[in-house]
Chains A and B, each alone.
Chain A
């Protein structure tokens, strides 16, 4: 499976600021996704990062709050904008390589965000 890294691994941010999280994969992959995991909770899909076009957001998530870029098949960024304490979560990127093992989704190590 692909090796996925995320930067930063953790951060503490002030209310009202923005943080950009990077996700790097060691091989080209077809699908990339961003998830949020609130403290003690399960994972919730934020959006599908589409290469070369706008991301596809799930219900309850909007581009102004969570802008996403995917310039190529190995890299994506998620920005958490105008942060509030409610944004304190683990943010995870995941990938699926549809040319490989279909439907298997692999996760990065996550970015632990605390907003004060």
Chain B
């Protein structure tokens, strides 16, 4: 079945640093979503991407829909301690079903 691989699996960074993570698949997706999950809570939607090449920002977060439609990227600029959590990508599969496959997650820790 389809899988979404996220890298890195985990990151330890200093406060103020920029962060980059990505999500790759062997299959094409038409929609990508990025979520953040904190302990004891459900995932919170950060950014939605709908077109290949699309670049969308939400505050310090910027996400891109890869040109090949098989990958997506999330960047966080000037990280702060509250950025700590697990970041998940999700791709709609199959297309048009409104159902999503979730990536393996990137665990982010920010050192003050």
Q: Tell me, rounded to whole Å, the shortest Cβ–Cβ distance linking B4 to chain A.
A: 8
**Inter-chain contacts of A45 with B (CB < 8 A):** 99-101
Let me know if A43 and B102 touch, CB within 8 A: yes
A109 within 8 Å of B (CB atoms): yes
Number of A-B residue pairs having CB atoms within 8 Å of each other in the complex: 53
Let me know if A42 and B42 touch, CB within 8 A: no
- CA distance in complex: A103, B90 (Å): 11
What number of A residues sit within 8 Å (CB to CB) of B?
Answer: 24
Besides A98-B98, A107-B44, A108-B42, 14 other CB < 8 A contacts?
Answer: A33-B99, A42-B102, A43-B88, A44-B102, A45-B100, A92-B42, A104-B33, A104-B45, A105-B98, A105-B100, A106-B45, A107-B35, A109-B40, A109-B41
Chain B residues engaging chain A, CB cutoff 8 angstroms: 1, 31, 33, 35, 40-45, 48, 50, 88, 90, 92, 98-105
Chain A residues engaging chain B, CB cutoff 8 angstroms: 1, 4, 31, 33, 42-45, 48, 59, 92, 94, 96, 98, 101, 103-110, 112
